[in-house]
Amino acid sequence: MLWSATARLSANPSPLHLPVFNQSITVLGKSKPSRVCCSPSRAMETNDDTSKAKGLSFDDFLSKKPYSPPTWASHLKPIPSHVFSLAHLPTPIHKWNLPNLPQNTEVWLKRDDLSGMQLSGNKVRKLEFLLAEAVAQGADCIITIGGIQSNHCRATAVAAKYLNLDSYLILRTSKLLVDKDPGLTGNLLVERFMGAHIQLISKEEYAKIGSVALTNVLKEQLLKEGRRPYVIPVGGSNSLGTWGYIEAMREIEEQLQIRSNRVKFDDIVVACGSGGTIAGLSLGSWLGALKAKT
């Protein structure tokens, strides 16, 4: 099985048009050929077996609930105490009929681009755990850091606004642009709609100082102002954020169990940035029933 995450952003320079976000996860499996065939163009349909599990209801959205881990992950420490319902889960799994595949090889898509519009993609799964801890600690604002068009920073700004938290974003850009208005393109447009406080830093300063030190400096400034900041690292990737994709592996296991014709995935491949997604997938695959290579 091959699982590959890709993120594509179409940013219109006009401030009158919202950007289009799309993140998908590709799964490739070597197994007995399946009779089920769903092309990516029909991925919005939800009448296949993988979508029969109960999704997020109107009343569940933004609710904070006690978290119970999969039994195979119950020995991991620390276990999160609570989780927010921010994503539309489960996301469907669809077969993708690619031409010229090797014999007995199948490609499947785990459609995490359907996890919820501004919060779409892998970011929201991590934020469900991270923001639950932020609220539990009494935070009134969120600090995070990333590139000038960071999907993680955009998703954090949106999620924070849902929870009535201010967001402070440290965005990395070129030295030539650090003293200029970054404009209203792509993720920046969404972040400004959300009222995010944006601080630009050059790539050179970022490399010299480091993301941890930069967020700590901003945290100390906000503490002196009487604020209660909560810091989320690059990509939301730390031990707590990793639980988002440990939980995703439980979701995949449950989806495979309810299929009328069982599919066995062999390999998982995912695009890797800050490492939190692949860490959770690797742990979940190794500890759970899937046992696929990541």
b/e sequence 86-124, b meaning 16+ C-beta within 10 Å: bbbbbbbbbbbeeeeeeeeebbbbbbbbbbbebbbbbbb
How many CA atoms are closer than 13 Å to the CA of 227, on its beta-carbon side?
A: 17
- Average confidence (pLDDT) over 235-254: 95
The single residue of 24, 51, 120, 150 carrying the catalytic annotation is 150
pLDDT at 213 over 60: yes
Domains of the chain: 4-59+88-121+238-287 (no CATH), 125-236 (3.40.50.1100)
Please write the tens of the pLDDT for every residue from 32-56: 433 222 223 333 333 344 444 455 5
Of 53-62, 72-81, 183-192, the range with the highest mean pLDDT is 72-81
Whole-number percent of the chain with pLDDT over 90: 58
| φ, ψ (nearest 5 deg) of residue 147 | -75, 170
193: left (phi over 0), alpha (psi -120 to 50) or beta: alpha
What local confidence, expressed as pLDDT, does residue 55 receive? 56
- Average confidence (pLDDT) over 87-113: 90
Residue 22: pLDDT band (50, 70, 90) is very low
Please write the tens of the pLDDT for every residue from 251-289: 999 999 888 677 888 988 788 889 999 999 999 999 999
> Cβ distance 101 to 108 under 8 Å?
no
pLDDT at 294 over 80: yes
Active site residue 237: no
Place of tokens 């010299």: 208
Q: Is the pTM of this model over 0.85?
A: no
From the list 40, 148, 44, 130, the residue with the least C-alpha distance to 80 is 130
Dist. CA 115–CA 160, nearest whole Å: 17
DSSP H helical ranges for the chain: 123-136, 151-162, 187-193, 203-209, 211-224, 243-257, 276-287
> In angstroms, how far apart are the furthest CA atoms of the chain?
63
From the list 187, 182, 196, 180, the residue with the least C-alpha distance to 232 is 196
Please write the tens of the pLDDT for every residue from 108-126: 989 998 888 677 788 999 9
Q: Report the length, in residues, of the chain.
A: 294
What local confidence, expressed as pLDDT, does residue 46 receive? 37
What local confidence, expressed as pLDDT, does residue 195 receive? 96
